[in-house]
Amino acid sequence: MRQGAVWWALWFCLAGVACDDKAAVVVADADVDAAVLDSDGDGVDDDVDTCPDVPDPGQQDADNDGLGDACDVDADGDGIIDEVDPCPGLYNPDRLDNDGDGVGDACDDDDDDDGVIDTMDLCPLDGDDGGLDMDGDGIGDVCDDDRDGDTFFNFADNCPDVRNESQDDQDRDQIGDVCDDDLDGDGFRNDEDTCPH
């Protein structure tokens, strides 16, 4: 008990308002400084214990809210109670879990569950990346918006798999000349056409 609490207990007891066993002990020892209490027996005095009723000798407090993780229903302070938080202990209010394995992306080393850890995975959110990176930009082809690296998005690129900055299309068939098997659009493959242009 703190010293102030001792004096209040003493006053209540002497005033006849309330005098239980604890107060009687306080009255008996009123001349002694307040005893140091450790209600949960974790070796940390109650007046500085982040969880005075729950043993937590390490006093971890991930969200620094003054309430120890051992007794905090939302230890990371993300607004999601730990019981349903896919990453308890790590702030992640969006609760994303790309691969649906019950471990949130914020704390999952393999977000797409393809067996390749995210830091080594060219497409950490796509389990079918095949490890291919045509343009060598460190983003796998499956998840790269410009897989040939010619500055044209795949959906707008007339040759999404062949670098083609000019986007030339002689026969206007929306297949760029650098990847068109029939440049002039006459129905004959370039390698069989006597006049492919």
pLDDT-based confidence at 18, cuts 50/70/90?
Answer: low
Other Cβ atoms within 10 Å of 20 Cβ, number: 11
Tokens encoding 48: 């500085």
Residue 64 has pLDDT above 60, yes or no: yes
- Distance CA(134)–CA(143), nearest Å, equals 12
Residue 68 has pLDDT above 80, yes or no: yes
Residues constituting the chain: 197
Tell me which of 1 and 44 has the higher pLDDT: 44
- Distance CA(179)–CA(164), nearest Å, equals 9
Q: What's the pTM?
A: 0.49
Per-residue pLDDT, 139: 87
The contacts of residue 122 (CB under 8 Å, 6+ apart) are 129, 131, 132, 133, 138, 139, 140, 143
CA 51 → CA 83, 185, 187, distances in Å?
18, 78, 80
List, for residues 110-168, the tens digit of each pLDDT value. 988 888 888 888 888 887 667 788 888 888 888 899 989 999 999 999 999 999 899 99
The distance from CA 119 to its chain's CA centroid, rounded to whole angstroms, is 14
